[in-house]
Chains A and B, each alone.
Chain A
Amino acid sequence: MFEFLKLVQNENMKIYRRVRTWVMFAIMLAIPLAMSVIGLLYGEDPDMWAYARSEALAVLTLMSIFAVVIAADSVAGEFSSGTIKLLLIRPWSRSKILLSKYLALALFMLLSMALLFVFTLLLNLALFGSGGDYTFPNQGSMSHFAYLAAFYGLSLIEMVVTVTMAFMISTVFRSGSLAIGLSIFVLLGGQIIASLLEWLDKPWVDYILFLHFGLQRHLAGYPMIADRTLGFSLGVLSGYYVIFMALSWYVFNRRDVAA
């Protein structure tokens, strides 16, 4: 077990020893900082929770894109640089090497989310204080903190599915750019396709990946497909998740590493 953690440590080194990762973190924190400062200067009666939520909305998509970039590079990058050859001739099974990459990626997502969550809360608390009377849409009896935490949790689930898809494409097609392109399409274009497909009255429409993004809508009380519950969406997403993982591992284990 301890020996395996060293593999994860290696993958972490490959993420955090690169300048781009720190540029990503800087951007992730600069955006909420700028939004709050603008709010402080020009906003009418700014509230810490309102700002924490809009900043999360603004940054979370970008954060997904950053995580997708790292996921796309994780496997495909080793192939395109040729380093995969030296990586796979160590006394570790391919499954474990892939798992170490995936875990490092999961840690990156958790770290980014935690960083944004803590940073925006502290920042807005410091700037605006906790005395506002803002309530979240459909908040009900939930506390502000619990609501925002749930908001992040649902975003994390979506991010994990998107990033796992990028990881799968990166592994199966060994192309980082394809992985990034397709994942961004799912993140942004998917919503448009979803709104078109919604009008189709076919049973399979309910199982299309795009339609189940935007989980936070369940929290706010207006889901994408009107009569589908959060549980159903989570079920469909986990189905896709299992397929992405299985494909990644199957292909990575069987692949001949040539040229």
Chain B
Amino acid sequence: MLDVNKGGTEPVVRLLNVTKRIGRRTIIDNLTFDVPPGEVFGFLGPNGSGKTTTIRMMVGLMRMTSGEILIRGKSIRTDFEAAVRQVGAIVENPELYRYLTGYQNLVHYARMIPGISKQRIDEVIELVGLTGRIHDKVKTYSLGMRQRLGVAQAILHRPALLILDEPTNGLDPAGIRELRDYLRHLAKNEGTTVFVSSHLLAEMELMCDRFAIIQNGKLVDVRPLNGREGGGEKAEILFEVDRPEAAASALGGAILRKESGGIVVGAGREEVADINARLVAAGVRVYGIRAVTKSLEDQFLEVTGGARGV
């Protein structure tokens, strides 16, 4: 099998001082970070920040000027075949052979990696929900179907690492949701590490466990998405109530701030229930309770200093 030893805590991808210069321009500047296994890892940056270039170097489509990229310990530069065997990818749009059928496309890629059975091809077709149309020519497919066929070719060989470059480009909301659910499924149930680039922050927020931000080819930050890690901590909770003043006094003033139509308190899971009971007992009407997490957009703007073009 190809998917030996997906577990462990060794990073699936390591970028070490990766630099790309074209002429005098430095496109990627000394990029270093690790992608831990089994996570959906977001790669964020404004348009033109070097996301696609980095991905192209990770799959060997472009050369690095200096530095090293290791995929499960294998260098993409010096040990390309062993390194890339662990990778499935869609780089930008899923461009497949339009004059071939979906099935012929999959057979084409299956032939390039030993050990992919006919059953595996059928299994993948089933998984991406293309069974009914797989023997039609790709030129008759909608963009969403091509995206699904793209995912199918990328996971045929059960890669340890799935790389997707702007996967939601051109997809409708249903397609985006489907893809998102699917990626989370792969990470959770098959232990696949998913590396996904995007400039759509709201999308990434729903998809990723951790994200790296680059700007002008430089790494700005790598951090876990708020709310996914450290679940025991107190969170900011907004209580929507009819009388914020009365609510504040019912809690003895132990609140973070008042907002129009509600109060914000710092509370853990159990405390939320208690506070709610106290508010109700004090005759305050509670319309809604929700966590006020800092959105990825806030975090993004925070670390990029409000860079435009996102």
Q: Which residues of A contact B (CB under 8 A)?
A: 3, 6-7, 9-10, 13-14, 17-18, 81-83, 85-86, 88-93, 254, 256-258
Contacts and interface: CB of A to CB of B under 8 A. Distances in A.
B30 interface: no
B214 interface: no
Given A3-B114, A17-B99, A81-B98, A89 B104 contact: no
Contacts of B92: 82, 85
Contacts, number: 76
Contacts of A81: 95, 97-98
B238 to A, nearest CB: 45
Interface in B87-109: 87, 89-100, 104, 107-109
Given A6-B112, A83-B97, A257-B56, A92 B81 contact: yes
Interface in B30-63: 53, 56, 59-63
B60 A88 contact: yes
Specify the main secondary structure of chain A where it touches its partner: helix
Nearest to B63: A256
Given A3-B114, A10-B112, A82-B92, A89 B87 contact: yes
Nearest to B22: A256
B82 interface: yes
A17 B84 contact: no
Contacts of B111: 6-7, 9-10
Given A13-B100, A89-B87, A256-B63, A82 B82 contact: no
Specify the main secondary structure of chain B where it touches its partner: loop
B69 to A, nearest CB: 13
Contacts of A7: 111-112
B113 A89 contact: no
A92 B96 contact: no
B85 interface: yes
A17 B80 CA distance: 31
A89 B156 CA distance: 13
A93 B62 CA distance: 14
B97 A85 contact: no
